[in-house]
């Protein structure tokens, strides 16, 4: 029920998957919204603080997800067309990579001058590296462009899931909704 | 008698020699950080937000007897803007403010020095400030702090200056509100004679 097996995902993987999916989409929208705000807008400070807090939560979720993935058997991908299986795999790895780069670049920007990153003023994550100005700006560009990259990959990922469900009619999508029995 | 006239000759020749006294050239001691370019902007009208440019270089010529003949030029690395806050500094470098990718340098070149009043240690430097790609004439009010030998075999002269610029004049896009349209620049400059 909780653990993954070769047949499907357990509850923990499913919860992490959907929670991070919601948070990542919300963070993308919030990121675009808050960077367009004027100095006197209500959310000028609240927006970035929320963005950082939720980003830290996604970082923790992603670390838990990778750890859990390593501790559990990986469910076998459904389907028999090697090209499609490879494409699905590439999109998944692309998502992992892009999400981690966006998370790490965000973390580095926030902590660039040695001050910790605050999770709702409750937990403070220390600065791991102090960045020069040009490095912060580079991190900012990576953060923005790869956030769009994540969205592009999400579109492919969702399209793939829908094709599996409605065209191929296999259990790929259902497996991410219903925990495996054993 | 002879002695006296010799002395007079010596004194007068010293006087003659020091008359044309060309202005000396000084390099601004940015390396030793005995100079700083600071700015202050009102925050909402309730307090001052201060910051500085960490990296700059320049030199000046100065003759205490003829300060009006002095000149100065300074080049500022705009990417070095520092207000002790990573995200704000990132914003200051962006096209909303200093647009450092397009304009990594700001410069000031003096055009004229005006000594008003009897005090030669107080003067106005009028010159061209180029910032964010816009060149505009500004006036810096300067007070000399002091000059003299340093303990390591050099000779130094130092000044403080103040001016205020309007952000809109330099095409800075971000609007920080009615109380925060201008930036105060506070300059501390120590030069080492070359």
pLDDT of residue B11: 54
pLDDT at A59 over 60: yes
Structure-block tokens of residue A23: 């948070």
Report how far residue A136's alpha carbon sits from residue B86's, in angstroms, rounded to the nearest whole number. Answer: 8
Identity of the residue in B80, B85, B174 whose CB atom sits nearest the CB atom of A113 = B85
pLDDT of residue B54: 95
pLDDT at B183 over 50: yes
Confirm or reject contact between B84 and chain A (CB < 8 A).
Answer: yes
Identity of the residue in A38, A109, A111 whose CB atom sits nearest the CB atom of B90 = A109
| Nearest-Cα residue of chain B relative to residue A139 | B90
Report how far residue A110's alpha carbon sits from residue A180's, in angstroms, rounded to the nearest whole number. Answer: 39
Which of the four pLDDT bands, split at 50, 70 and 90, describes residue B6? low
Q: Whole-number mean pLDDT of chain A?
A: 92
pLDDT of residue A155: 97
Which of the four pLDDT bands, split at 50, 70 and 90, describes residue B158? very high
B58 within 8 A of B75, measured Cβ to Cβ: yes
Which of the four pLDDT bands, split at 50, 70 and 90, describes residue A38? confident
Range B47-69 average pLDDT: 95
CB contact under 8 A, B89 and A136: yes
Which of the four pLDDT bands, split at 50, 70 and 90, describes residue B1? low
- For residue B175, list chain A residues with Cβ-Cβ distance below 8 A: 38-39
Q: Residues in chain A, how many?
A: 182
pLDDT at A101 over 70: yes
A and B: number of Cβ contacts within 8 A = 36
Range A3-29 average pLDDT: 94
Distance from CA of A48 to the nearest CA of B (A): 10
* Percentage of chain A exceeding pLDDT 90: 66
pLDDT of residue A1: 83
Report how far residue B112's alpha carbon sits from residue A148's, in angstroms, rounded to the nearest whole number. Answer: 52
Report how far residue B163's alpha carbon sits from residue B184's, in angstroms, rounded to the nearest whole number. Answer: 6
Identity of the residue in B81, B87, B93 whose CB atom sits nearest the CB atom of A109 = B87
pLDDT at A16 over 80: yes
- Higher-confidence position of A76 and B105: B105
Report how far residue A175's alpha carbon sits from residue A7's, in angstroms, rounded to the nearest whole number. Answer: 9
pLDDT at A182 over 90: no
User: For residue range B21-57, what is the model confidence (pLDDT) as tens digits?
Assistant: 578 999 999 999 999 999 999 999 999 999 999 999 9
ipTM for the complex? 0.71
Range B119-146 average pLDDT: 95
Distance from CA of A24 to the nearest CA of B (A): 21
B39 within 8 A of B52, measured Cβ to Cβ: yes
Least Cα distance to B139 among B122, B123, B121, B126 occurs for B126
Which of the four pLDDT bands, split at 50, 70 and 90, describes residue A114? confident
Distance from CA of B172 to the nearest CA of A (A): 14
Distances (CA, A) of A124 to A52, A62, A111, A118, B88: 11, 18, 11, 5, 19
Identity of the residue in B81, B84, B90 whose CB atom sits nearest the CB atom of A140 = B90
Report how far residue B182's alpha carbon sits from residue B167's, in angstroms, rounded to the nearest whole number. Answer: 6
Quote the DSSP letter at residue A115: P
- For residue B84, list chain A residues with Cβ-Cβ distance below 8 A: 113
Which of the four pLDDT bands, split at 50, 70 and 90, describes residue B18? very low
pLDDT of residue A27: 96
Distance from CA of B90 to the nearest CA of A (A): 7
Class (C level, CATH) for B23-193: mainly beta
pLDDT of residue B7: 60
Confirm or reject contact between B46 and chain A (CB < 8 A).
Answer: no
Q: Where does A11-175 sit in CATH, by number?
A: 1.20.950
Q: Whole-number mean pLDDT of chain B?
A: 90
């Amino acid at each position: 029920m909780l653990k993954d097996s070769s047949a499907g995902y357990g509850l923990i993987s499913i919860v992490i998957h959907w929670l991070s999916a919601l948070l990542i989409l919300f963070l993308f929208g919030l990121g675009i919204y808050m960077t367009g705000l004027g100095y006197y807008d209500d959310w000028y400070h609240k927006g970035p603080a929320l963005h950082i807090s939720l980003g830290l939560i996604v970082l923790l979720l992603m670390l838990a997800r990778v750890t859990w993935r390593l501790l559990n058997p990986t469910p076998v991908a459904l389907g028999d067309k090697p090209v499609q299986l490879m494409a699905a795999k590439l999109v998944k790895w692309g998502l992992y990579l892009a999400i981690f780069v966006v998370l790490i670049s965000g973390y580095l920007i926030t902590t660039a001058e040695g001050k910790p990153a605050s999770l709702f003023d409750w937990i403070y994550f220390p600065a791991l590296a102090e960045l020069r100005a040009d490095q912060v700006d580079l991190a900012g560009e990576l953060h923005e462009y790869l956030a769009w990259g994540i969205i592009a990959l999400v579109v492919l990922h969702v399209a793939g899931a829908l094709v599996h469900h409605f065209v191929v009619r296999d259990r790929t999508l259902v497996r991410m909704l219903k925990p495996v029995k054993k | 008698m002879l002695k006296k006239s010799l002395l007079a000759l010596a004194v007068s020749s010293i006087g003659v020699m020091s008359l044309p006294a060309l202005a000396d050239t000084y390099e601004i001691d940015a390396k030793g950080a005995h100079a700083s370019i600071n700015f202050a902007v009102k925050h909402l009208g309730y307090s001052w937000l201060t910051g500085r440019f960490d990296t700059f270089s320049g030199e000046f010529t100065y003759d205490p007897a003829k300060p009006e003949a002095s000149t100065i030029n300074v080049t500022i690395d705009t990417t070095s803007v520092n207000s002790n806050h990573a995200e704000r500094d990132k914003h200051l470098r962006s096209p909303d403010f200093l647009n450092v990718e397009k304009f990594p340098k700001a410069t000031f070149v003096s055009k004229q020095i005006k000594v008003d009043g009897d005090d030669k240690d107080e003067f106005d430097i009028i010159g061209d400030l180029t910032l964010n790609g816009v060149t505009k004439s500004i006036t810096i009010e300067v007070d000399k702090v002091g000059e003299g030998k340093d303990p390591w075999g050099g000779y130094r002269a130092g000044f403080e200056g103040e001016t205020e610029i309007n952000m809109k004049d330099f095409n800075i896009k971000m609007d920080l509100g009615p109380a925060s349209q201008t930036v105060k620049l506070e300059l501390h400059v120590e030069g080492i004679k070359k």
